[in-house]
């Protein structure tokens, strides 16, 4: 029987400081509505899904960012506030932090906006691998502990991880559909990242995901 080799992730020199923001960071960024007819069929996207660790440094367009975040955990049922990703009892306990060169933002799903948290470039703080901080976007999935307090303690961490995993898979499938490169990352420094993102005591980063154009992209998918 073949044994699957244990994949070791190549570390870079760990960054322990944020970098100055590149450009002026608006307090709020309105995201364009997604084009619900865009992309390839689901089965084709599934056939493309893969982890990629080589990225072009080129920025993603605002249209791409809007579609990516809507796919991640946007509102798909406005009447009920339902989202593209499931969550236990619809608690929606995962916040998506968006580390861009111009600052760290939180995705506000109901308003489909990015809300500025901290005007620094914290991309390099979201992990240890060489592409982290060089790719144009790092997402960080943060559990808002106050939302899961009523849940039995044993379920809090597990259910939150499942919600974050659902969001990450939505992002992966959007990337596969839109010709973007992505990798989910569990190898993060929770404390450093919590400081860099200016999180409160009850907020814990549990997963990160790098997104960008593939290193060899011609950019045709970047709307």
Ligand X SMILES: Cc1cc2nc3c(=O)[nH]c(=O)nc-3n(C[C@H](O)[C@H](O)[C@H](O)COP(=O)(O)O)c2cc1C
User: CB under 6 A: which stretch of 65-73, 87-95, 114-122, 177-185 binds ligand X?
Assistant: 177-185
Q: Which is nearer to ligand X, 9 or 155 (CB)?
A: 9
Contact flag: residue 50 with ligand X (CB under 6 A):
yes
Q: What is the DSSP code string of 88-152?
A: GGG---EEEEEEETTEEEEEETTTTEEEEEESEE-GGGG-SBTTTTTSSEEEEEEEEGGGGTTS-
Least CB distance from residue 50 to ligand X, whole Å? 4
- Mark 186-204 as b/e (b = at least 16 C-beta within 10 Å): eebbeebbbebbebeeebb
User: CB under 6 A: which stretch of 48-56, 91-99, 146-154, 211-219 binds ligand X?
Assistant: 48-56
Contact flag: residue 9 with ligand X (CB under 6 A):
yes
Q: Which is nearer to ligand X, 187 or 200 (CB)?
A: 187
Contacting ligand X within 74-103 (CB under 6 A): none
User: CB under 6 A: which stretch of 12-20, 83-91, 117-125, 183-191 binds ligand X?
Assistant: 183-191
Looking only at the bridges linking them, the beta strands covering 181-185 and 103-108 are unpaired
Contact flag: residue 19 with ligand X (CB under 6 A):
no
Q: What is the DSSP code string of 143-189?
A: EEGGGGTTS-HHHHHHHHHHHHHHHHHHHHHHHHHHT-EEEEE----
Least CB distance from residue 207 to ligand X, whole Å? 6
The count of chain residues that interact with ligand X, using the rule CB under 6 A, is: 11
Contact flag: residue 185 with ligand X (CB under 6 A):
yes
CA dist 111 and 76 (Å) reads 12
Contact flag: residue 186 with ligand X (CB under 6 A):
yes
Contact flag: residue 192 with ligand X (CB under 6 A):
no
**Chain centre to alpha carbon of residue 34:** 17
Residue 82: its H or E element = strand 82-83
Please select the residue that binds ligand X; options are 1, 7, 36, 43, rule is CB under 6 A.
7
Please select the residue that binds ligand X; options are 51, 146, 155, 200, rule is CB under 6 A.
51
Contact flag: residue 114 with ligand X (CB under 6 A):
no
Structure tokens at 23: 């450009």
Least CB distance from residue 26 to ligand X, whole Å? 31
Contact flag: residue 29 with ligand X (CB under 6 A):
no
Contact flag: residue 180 with ligand X (CB under 6 A):
no
- In terms of C-beta density within 10 A (0-12 exposed, 13-18 middle, 19 or more buried), how is residue 164 classed? buried
């Amino acid at each position: 029987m073949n044994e699957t080799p244990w994949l070791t992730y190549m570390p870079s020199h760990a960054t322990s400081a944020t970098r100055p923001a590149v450009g002026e960071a608006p307090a709020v960024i309105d995201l364009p509505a997604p084009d619900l007819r865009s992309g390839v069929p689901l089965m084709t996207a599934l056939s493309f899904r893969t982890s990629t660790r080589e990225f072009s440094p080129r920025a993603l367009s605002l249209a791409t960012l809007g579609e990516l975040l809507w796919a991640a955990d946007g509102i798909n049922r406005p009447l009920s506030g339902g989202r593209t990703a499931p969550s236990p009892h619809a608690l929606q306990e995962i916040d998506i932090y968006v580390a861009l060169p111009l600052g760290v933002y939180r995705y506000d799903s109901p308003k489909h906006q990015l809300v500025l948290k901290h005007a620094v470039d914290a991309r390099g703080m979201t992990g240890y691998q060489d592409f982290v901080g060089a790719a144009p976007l790092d997402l960080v999935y943060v559990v808002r502990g106050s939302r899961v307090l009523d849940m039995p303690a044993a379920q809090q961490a597990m259910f939150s991880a499942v919600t974050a995993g659902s969001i990450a898979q939505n992002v992966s499938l959007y990337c596969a559909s839109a010709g973007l490169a992505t990798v989910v990352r569990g190898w993060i420094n929770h404390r450093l990242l919590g400081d860099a993102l200016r999180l409160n005591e009850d907020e814990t980063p549990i997963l990160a995901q790098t997104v960008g154009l593939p290193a060899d992209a011609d950019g045709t998918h970047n709307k």
